[in-house]
């Protein structure tokens, strides 16, 4: 009798999961943005419904329910702030006719102005970035706004929190957002409790807030942004933790790039923070801007935030534009190089029109699936003449793109499905020959420490290598 009941329960469970797999597969076909992603989900949902169904409903969504409506509310609430920002940066904004083609194309997506009069400084690796961040906080006189994907409860995290506590006790507004998935250990740490008890206003981004979002973990705030007094900001690849300074013995050396920006472009970054704060905290941030000098000198900068609430894949379109604009040179560095077919085609076309196209990825990627996917896309790029380099001295985490002799992009967005469609990212695009030369020299040093991949690297591989590449390629849209 008990066996019969158990058999009935098992049969019912199989039937339920099979039906849920079919329903989920139909939903994936209807809503997944790419055919490749839809096919990947359909295969796993119909083949392994017991595992794939809950995974799909946690990770498979491509629209951030709630934030879509919230974005409209944010933009409405920020109208007065946006006007104040516009008034503040207008003397430093650039007329549309004077913009380079890339800025002119991306401006409608960026929702901010292109500004001049900016001082931009490269911060190469963790020591320089951490020192610059602490110095900026120590010098704050009005407010401190930070958002980070990862904050660790370690010595580096403690140094940051201690600096923030000092400013909070001086009476400055100190607002911090952390991603509750990326910073899941920090969310339960004594360091967070200490920060809260000493007046630091620190909150999770709350991607799981709301009934529709309770079980979804797919959307992440991947930004790394610090804004100080509306006069100085930092953004780039570095989170807050000892591994980003190369101090984690399990990971080893860490290669990354950050930016420090002073000038009117900082106001655009504060508006981005205000929108994130509105969602995370549920309150309007009262921004107060000091009108910057009217200097028309300095570097031309476009701040480009992107997020999954847009009807466009903003980060993907940004990279498409950079690729299509290249005439002599296109150098790309990314730790996660898992592009879609359109990006691959654009890179191939760039080579065919005579562009020096180079892609640098880490030799020790983050996980075996990412590693196999990287090899798969490398194999497709080589025949067209794209040069692929694998950086070996440590884990390379920088997200830097250099176009020709005057345009570069540095920020938080990777060349993968997650950054294109699912993550909150921010990128600074700089149009300046002097700064582009600095970036060129930095990347030349990286290329000198990297191994160029050739067709021979695919020969004499074990029998499982090609099937593993194919499998990783198949599932790359959901990595």
User: Which position among 175, 258, 299, 399 bears the catalytic label?
Assistant: 399
Is 224 designated active site?
yes
Give, in order, the Cα–Cα distances in Å from 264 to each of 91, 258, 296. Answer: 9, 18, 11
Nearest alpha carbon to residue 416 among 307, 305, 315, 329: 315
User: Which position among 153, 154, 179, 229 bears the catalytic label?
Assistant: 229
Parallel/antiparallel/unpaired status of strands 174-178 and 201-204: parallel
Is 387 designated active site?
no
User: Which position among 397, 421, 432, 446 bears the catalytic label?
Assistant: 397
Phi, psi of 37 (to 5 degrees): -65, -40
Estimate to the nearest angstrom the gap between the alpha carbon of 367 and the chain centroid.
18
User: Which position among 130, 167, 175, 222 bears the catalytic label?
Assistant: 222
Largest CA distance in the chain: 86
DSSP per-residue letters across 281-316: HSS------PPPP----SEEEEEEEE-TTSSS-HHH
- Rounded to the nearest 10°, the torsion over CA 53, 55, 61, 66 is 100
Report d(CA 246, CA 445) in Å as an integer. 18
Q: Which two tokens stand for residue 473?
A: 């390629």
| Cβ 216 vs Cβ 61: under 8 Å | yes
Is 297 designated active site?
no
Q: Which two tokens stand for residue 153?
A: 């409860």
2: buried, middle or exposed (CB in 10 Å: 19+, 13-18, 0-12)? Answer: exposed
Give per-residue burial for 103-115: e unless 16+ CB within 10 Å, then b: bbbbbebbbbbbb
Is 399 designated active site?
yes
Nearest alpha carbon to residue 376 among 4, 79, 130, 36: 36
User: Which position among 167, 224, 258, 299 bears the catalytic label?
Assistant: 224
Nearest alpha carbon to residue 343 among 384, 311, 404, 310: 384
User: Which position among 65, 248, 356, 404 bears the catalytic label?
Assistant: 404
Phi, psi of 463 (to 5 degrees): -60, -25
Give the torsion sign (CA, 466, 467, 470, 471).
negative
Parallel/antiparallel/unpaired status of strands 356-362 and 415-416: unpaired
DSSP per-residue letters across 40-69: HHHHHHHH-HHHHHHHHHHH---S-TTHHH
Match 């600095």 to its residue by tokens. Answer: 438
Is 421 designated active site?
no
How far is the first Cα of the chain from the last one, in angstroms, to the nearest whole number? 45
Nearest alpha carbon to residue 436 among 469, 400, 405, 396: 405
Strands (DSSP E) found in 190-328: 201-204, 220-221, 224-228, 232-236, 254-255, 257-262, 299-306
Is 153 designated active site?
no
Q: Active-site residue numbers?
A: 222, 224, 229, 397, 399, 404
């Amino acid at each position: 009798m008990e066996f019969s009941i158990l058999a009935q329960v098992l049969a019912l469970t199989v039937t339920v999961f099979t039906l849920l797999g079919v329903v989920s597969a139909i939903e994936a076909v209807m809503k997944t943005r790419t055919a490749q992603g839809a096919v990947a989900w359909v295969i796993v949902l119909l083949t392994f419904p017991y595992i794939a169904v809950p995974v799909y409903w946690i990770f498979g969504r491509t629209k951030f329910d709630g934030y879509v409506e919230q974005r409209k509310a944010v933009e409405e609430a920020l109208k007065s702030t946006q006007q104040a920002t516009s008034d503040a940066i207008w003397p430093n904004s650039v007329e549309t006719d004077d913009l380079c083609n890339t800025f002119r194309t991306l401006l409608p997506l960026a929702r901010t102005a292109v500004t001049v009069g900016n001082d931009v400084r490269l911060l190469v690796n963790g020591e320089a970035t951490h020192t610059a961040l602490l110095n900026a906080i120590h010098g704050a006189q009005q407010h401190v706004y930070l958002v980070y994907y990862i904050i660790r409860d370690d010595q580096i995290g403690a140094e940051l929190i201690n600096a923030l506590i000092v400013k909070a006790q001086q009476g400055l507004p100190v607002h911090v957002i952390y991603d509750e998935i990326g910073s899941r250990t920090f969310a339960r740490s004594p360091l967070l409790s200490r920060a809260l008890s000493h007046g630091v206003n620190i909150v999770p981004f709350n991607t799981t807030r709301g009934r529709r979002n309770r079980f979804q973990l797919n959307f992440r705030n991947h930004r790394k942004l610090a804004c100080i007094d509306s006069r100085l900001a930092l953004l780039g690849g570095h989170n807050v933790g000892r591994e980003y300074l190369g101090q984690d013995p399990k990971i080893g050396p860490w290669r990354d790039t950050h930016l420090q920006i002073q000038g009117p472009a900082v106001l655009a970054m504060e508006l981005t923070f205000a929108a994130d704060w509105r969602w995370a905290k549920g309150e309007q941030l009262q921004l107060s801007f000091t009108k910057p000098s009217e200097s028309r000198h300095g570097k031309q900068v476009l701040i480009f935030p992107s997020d999954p609430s847009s009807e466009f894949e903003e980060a993907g379109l940004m990279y498409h534009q950079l690729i299509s604009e290249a005439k002599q040179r296109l150098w790309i560095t990314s730790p996660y190089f898992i592009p879609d077919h359109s990006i691959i085609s654009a890179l191939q076309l760039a080579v065919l029109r005579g562009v020096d196209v180079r892609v640098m990825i880490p030799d020790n990627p983050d996980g075996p699936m990412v590693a196999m996917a990287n090899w798969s896309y490398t194999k497709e790029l080589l025949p067209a003449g794209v040069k692929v380099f694998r950086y070996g001295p440590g884990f390379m985490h920088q997200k830097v793109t250099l176009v020709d002799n005057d345009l570069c992009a540095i920020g938080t967005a990777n060349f993968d499905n997650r950054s294109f469609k699912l993550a909150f990212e921010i990128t600074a695009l700089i149009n300046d020959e002097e700064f582009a030369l600095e970036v060129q020299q930095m990347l030349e040093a990286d290329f000198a420490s990297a191994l160029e991949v050739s067709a021979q690297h695919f020969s004499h591989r074990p029998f499982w290598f090609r099937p593993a590449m194919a499998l990783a390629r198949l599932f790359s849209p959901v990595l």
